[in-house]
Amino acid sequence: MTSLNLENINITSFDAMPTPQDLHARLPLTDLAADVVNAGREALCRILERKDNRLFVVVGPCSIHDPVAGLDYARRLIALQEEVKDTMLLVMRVYFEKPRTTTGWKGYINDPDMDDSFRVDHGMELARKFLLDVCELGLPTGTEALDPISPQYLGDLIAWTAIGARTTESQTHREMSSGLSTPVGFKNGTDGDISIAVNAILSASHPHSFLGLNDQGRVAIVRTRGNPHGHVVLRGGDGRPNYDTVSVAMAEQALIKAKIAANIVVDCSHANSYKKPELQPLVMADVINQVVNGSTSLVGIMIESNIVAGNQKIPQDLSQLTYGCSVTDGCVDWATTEKMLRDADARLRLRLR
């Protein structure tokens, strides 16, 4: 036997995680939360299947870092849902994982204490607790699936899932999406290429077999049946927006050519607003105008919104953080969010009449 050490050369440690089963036992799914998740998923599927003519709106902070402010936001949103329920289904954006081009804070699960201690075990438990609290308020939740293991810990509390522009082309994420229990929105590539999202939808709609984790925390061969509710999310790309009528029509034609349901969601943030949050209301107004004027492919909208506008850097002294302000991408504030959704509701009622 060789004395050479050839494995895990750059690994410093393996820290144990609780199994998904353990975490579910500590924070079990309640009947109320289960009903909210199930109702949210069913409503989303009805919208995608054209059995419900409302739009769905995934709206909320770019990322969750403060659960107190997050629940404050959720309570405001559930009150607004009652106002606009005839025209829109509101899904709270609850993002715990943030992809990074190089380095930076990777999100609430990876580093919940925001001090580079990387207590992933603690972060996963806090994330599940937050999702339970939001669902028990009556709000369905939407998130980005970044780590392929996380859905085993959190998936029973999610109503809608996004696959980000950086991971839509990933085989791992396409396979994972084929087994997710939620509708899945695939974003176009960072260069604006929609074919990546179309191919992802096709791939995820088919059965797959791959290595994964079961609820006992054991590596297993995961076999899926395929996800029938994949759809495309236009988020702009290469510094240019793609929510205009021409871009939407071209996306619609690409989906029809691939024999996929022409379901399109527009992300009002990212390249569609040139990464300027104050432009998100203009993007949304344009999309709503397209819907009122007869577009049948636009089924949803995404908005990055928080209590306070803009964003902030993470300070050394966390007590200096501004309450309700994003620590990742800039957001519109709550007053702007209310106006965006109420204006959209008023316009969409014209379509109903």
pLDDT at residue 100 is higher than 70: no
Domain boundaries 20-352, corresponding CATH code: 3.20.20.70
**pLDDT tens per residue across span 265-312:** 999 999 999 999 999 999 999 999 999 999 999 999 999 999 999 999
- Which tops the pLDDT comparison, 99 or 226? 226
Nearest to 353 by CA among 290, 312, 262, 292: 292
Mean pLDDT, rounded, for 38-59: 98
Class of residue 217 by CB neighbours under 10 A (exposed 0-12, middle 13-18, buried 19+) = middle
The structure's pTM equals 0.97
**pLDDT tens per residue across span 193-249:** 999 999 999 999 999 999 999 999 999 999 999 999 999 999 999 989 999 999 999
**pLDDT tens per residue across span 115-139:** 999 999 999 999 999 999 999 999 9
* pLDDT category of residue 65 using cuts at 50, 70 and 90: very high
Q: Residue 206: CB partners within 8 Å, gap ≥ 6?
A: 178, 226
* pLDDT category of residue 67 using cuts at 50, 70 and 90: very high
**pLDDT tens per residue across span 144-161:** 999 999 999 999 999 999
pLDDT at position 2, please? 77
Instruction: Decide: 302 and 59 in contact? Cβ < 8 Å.
Output: yes
Share above pLDDT 90 across residues of the chain, in percent, rounded to a whole number: 94
For residue 116, the 8-state DSSP code is: S
At 209, give phi and psi (nearest 5°). -130, 130
Nearest to 309 by CA among 332, 286, 277: 332
Q: To the nearest whole number, what is the mean pLDDT of the chain?
A: 96
Mean pLDDT, rounded, for 19-40: 98
